[in-house]
Amino acid sequence: MIYTVTFNPSVDYVVRLDTLEIGELNRTSDTAKYAGGKGINVSRILSALDVPSTALGFAGGFTGEFIQQTLKDQNIQSDFITVDGDTRINVKLKTGEETEINASGPSITDVDIDKLKAQLSTMTSEDHVVFAGSVPSGYDHLYEELAKLLHDKGIEFTIDAEGSKLTSTLQYEPYLIKPNQFELEGITGRTLGTTNEMIDAAHVLIDQGAKNILLTLGEGGALFINRNHEYFIPSPEGTLKNSVGAGDSTVAGFISRKESGVEEQLKYAIACGSATAFSDDLATRADIEVLLDKIEVQSIEEVK
């Protein structure tokens, strides 16, 4: 079973307006509510690909109930830990350009964290855990603790996080990490202007323990690096409509084809991420399938 962990999920309230006048009464042209959060996004894309997963994390109040009911309606299993306080509401204002207003979310306690650790402790080497997003305030070392817990039990995990939250887990051999160029520069302390420089920097993280690295470059495509392969994957053509969830969709696509070989994984990763970027919400299966045949996985030697 694939488990996704979202520490601070949200109800994403999308508000569309023709124009926004600050200090005046504004009327919407359309609104929508979604179950949000990076791990939840991964579960939603996996569901679109008919790959089962269970969404874990912390949820509370009427907004937490909304998230759990929404996932149930989408045939996505969840097992959230109930916390005091309401799960946050994030507002996405779309007026041509997108403006986001993100709330901080409820407080998480040591008791809540212990319950999550207990859930992870019941898993086996047949499972895979995806960690994505920020950690609760005051728990800066949480990813490292959870990565060690899983590593000691022989459970593979994927982590999509930034800075020290990511690097602290490398010693526990994450299955997949997905930095972008800016994040890789920050992690390695290098300025990365060429493909070879990016590949060399990625190998630093491979040497520290990462098994697979998918380096996303936006419209410039993506690079994939592990100990046996180096690939470049150009981005398919399309109109960018939505940057929210594209990275999570990329992770889901890669994980969804874990038994199918690296090239197939990369096709699904880039198709899923691009399909979400070209959609108003997360991609549907139909959106993804339209792009699959347009994804070309090139070995770095071919590129050179």
**Cβ neighbour number for residue 178 with a 10 Å cutoff:** 24
As beta bridge partners, residue 98 has 94
**Cβ neighbour number for residue 121 with a 10 Å cutoff:** 12
Residue 73 designated active-site: no
Q: Is 59 exposed, middle or buried (0-12, 13-18, 19+ CB in 10 A)?
A: buried
DSSP 186: H
Residues 143, 149, 151, 154: is their CA dihedral positive or negative?
negative
Instruction: Exactly one of 112, 127, 248, 287 is catalytic; name it.
Output: 248
| Closest listed residue to residue 104, CA positions, set 9, 35, 5, 245 | 9
Distance of CA 19 to the CA centre of its chain: 31
Question: Which residue numbers are catalytic?
Answer: 248
